[in-house]
């Protein structure tokens, strides 16, 4: 077989971290917010931060070379408009908290070699989000990114006659909103940790849906789920768990559903060889360095856990490539 990848391709891949590091450092320093509010020279900005002038100038020039910043002839910098829309913390489209989350992943991914070599005892990395303001910003960014996918997921799911949804670990209600918007007759229970419930209440009220939602605070690892539902959504959860944890979670969901009720699982669904989808293979590495037992799983694995938990008629709805794989199962 003739090689199609060149030496330069390999070197480009090896150096791919460079642009990522530039963006992450700019996000840590909040440069896109500061310069979107008031374009400035490196010297002026260095005094405001404060920062080392040489280092800041080199960083800003590199960001300009990437097209993330614009530089005027007199040396003033400002964010490119398409970058500012997503990286200014005050923009309604901001994904800056998720970029900062990626910065925390940089630190845990740096331990990948020792994790794979088994030369370092596993320790769950400390949480990178601490304050209520940071939690709110991160979940807000997740909503911005997740709502378009949520609408697509609802279209792919046969809602049929389901009238009582439980959104397990529903965060600020992105998927609850999508389901209730598509089914005016449906009501929902959103179950998540206490710190998140208030954010969900605020978002659901803004969408004029709060009267159709019951908000229940709890931890699905330790608490039972409220019962009486005919549809359950378990969205982007199972990858953070090991097999035994997922069986336990599925049993709780099974108990929360009425006879004939259905569970919908959204996550990466890996091919039997675990190589595709590519994003899922990368995400398994993320779980390796950030969780005790998490990974991404095949349909056969997830089906076996669902059946062990008491579900029947397990079927693969779609595979997906962006954590939009879907599996459905029913309660006898």
Architecture category of domain 7-117 in CATH = Orthogonal Bundle (1.10)
Whether the Cβ atoms of residue 111 and residue 122 lie closer than 8 Å to each other = no
| pLDDT means over runs of 10, the chain (332 residues) | 83 96 97 97 97 98 98 98 95 90 90 88 58 70 83 91 96 95 96 92 95 98 98 97 98 98 98 97 95 96 98 96 96 98
- C-alpha 25/C-alpha 143 separation (Å) is 24
Whether the Cβ atoms of residue 323 and residue 264 lie closer than 8 Å to each other = no
Identify the pLDDT of residue 209: 97
Sort strands 76-79 and 69-71 into parallel, antiparallel or unpaired: antiparallel
- C-alpha 121/C-alpha 276 separation (Å) is 29
Identify the pLDDT of residue 130: 54
Q: Is the peptide bond before 50 cis (omega within 30 degrees of 0)?
A: yes
| pTM (2 d.p.) | 0.89
Within this chain, domains 7-117 and 132-330 share the same CATH topology? no
Boundaries of every domain in the chain: 7-117, 132-330
- Topology of the domain comprising 132-330: Rossmann fold (3.40.50)
Cβ neighbours of 261 (radius 10 Å) = 22
Identify the pLDDT of residue 195: 85
């Amino acid at each position: 077989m003739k090689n199609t990848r060149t030496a330069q391709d390999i070197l480009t891949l090896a150096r791919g971290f460079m642009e990522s590091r530039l963006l992450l450092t700019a996000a840590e320093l909040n440069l896109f917010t500061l310069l979107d509010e008031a374009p400035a020279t490196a010297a002026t900005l260095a005094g405001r931060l404060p920062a080392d002038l040489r280092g800041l100038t080199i960083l800003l020039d590199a960001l300009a070379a990437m097209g993330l910043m614009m530089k005027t002839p007199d040396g003033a910098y400002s964010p490119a408009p398409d970058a500012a829309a997503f990286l200014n913390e005050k923009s309604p489209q901001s994904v800056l908290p998720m970029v900062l989350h990626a910065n925390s992943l940089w630190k845990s991914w740096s331990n990948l070699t020792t994790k794979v070599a088994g030369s370092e005892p596993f320790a769950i990395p400390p949480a990178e989000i601490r304050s209520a303001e940071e939690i709110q910003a991160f979940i807000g960014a997740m909503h911005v990114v997740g709502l378009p996918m949520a609408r697509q997921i609802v279209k792919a799911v046969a809602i049929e006659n389901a009238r009582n949804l439980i959104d397990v670990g529903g965060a600020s209600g992105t998927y609850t909103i999508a389901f209730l918007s598509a089914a005016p007759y449906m009501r929902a229970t959103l179950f998540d940790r206490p710190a998140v419930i208030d954010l969900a209440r605020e978002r659901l009220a803004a969408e004029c849906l709060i009267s159709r939602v019951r908000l229940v605070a709890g931890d699905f690892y330790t608490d039972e789920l409220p019962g009486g539902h005919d549809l359950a959504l378990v969205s982007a959860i199972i990858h953070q768990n090991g097999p035994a944890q997922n069986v336990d979670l599925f049993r709780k969901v099974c108990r929360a559903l009425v006879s004939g009720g259905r569970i919908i699982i959204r996550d990466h669904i890996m091919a039997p060889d675990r190589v595709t989808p590519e994003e899922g293979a990368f995400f398994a590495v993320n779980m390796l360095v950030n969780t005790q037992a998490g990974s991404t799983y095949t349909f056969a694995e997830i089906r076996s856990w669902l059946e062990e938990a008491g579900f029947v008629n397990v079927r693969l709805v779609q595979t997906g490539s962006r954590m939009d794989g879907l599996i459905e199962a029913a309660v006898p």
